[in-house]
Amino acid sequence: MSEPLSTDRTFFSAGTRIEGTLELDGEVKLEGQVKGKVSGTGVVTIGEHANLQADVFAPTIIIHGIVRGEIHATDRIELHRSAKVKGVIHTPRIRIDDGAVFEGECRMGPQDAKPEPVKAEAAKPEERRSAPPAASPPAAAPAGVEVKRAAPR
């Protein structure tokens, strides 16, 4: 017997206000306000009444509302005619409908679609400094030639 398809669906209505991190499984539709981060395992749809100040991560992201932040999709991003996006988009594929507004950067390619942000550890001060250039070894003199070098001062 085959496994049933996932029927996980989450809906946040227009009156919903969330501040923080949303980690969601399955299909998601957001119509409310979100400030923070949204991470989904399925299709994330940002509805026409949604207003996000958030970084969004999902395989597929469909936008009808307002998003300010970084948007990372491992499959595709769709900006429909009512979409207003300001930020950086990372995706291998994008669709932008007439009427959609996009202000920012679009980085395309599989290397640009990151599933989750990676927190880099702060480098230790000694790791940030560049090493002094190494002294080059003395060049070998041709056979039969004596080389005299000046003593360091």
Nearest to 75 by CA among 114, 39, 47, 104: 114
- CA dist 81 and 48 (Å) reads 10
pLDDT of residue 114: 58
Four-point Cα dihedral 107, 50, 55, 100, nearest 10: 10
Dihedral (CA of 41, 38, 69, 13) sign: positive
| Amino acid at residue number 66 | I
Q: What is the pLDDT of residues 8-53, one digit of tens each?
A: 788 899 999 999 999 999 999 999 999 999 999 999 999 999 999 9
Four-point Cα dihedral 7, 93, 33, 27, nearest 10: 0
Residue 3 has pLDDT above 80, yes or no: no
What one-character DSSP code corresponds to residue 149? -
The H or E element that residue 35 is part of is strand 33-40
pLDDT of residue 64: 99
Which residue shows structure tokens 């306000």?
Answer: 33
Residue 127 has pLDDT above 60, yes or no: no
Q: What is the pLDDT of residues 97-124, one digit of tens each?
A: 999 999 999 999 766 555 554 443 444 4
> Taking the CB of residue 56, how many other CB atoms lie within 10 A of it?
25
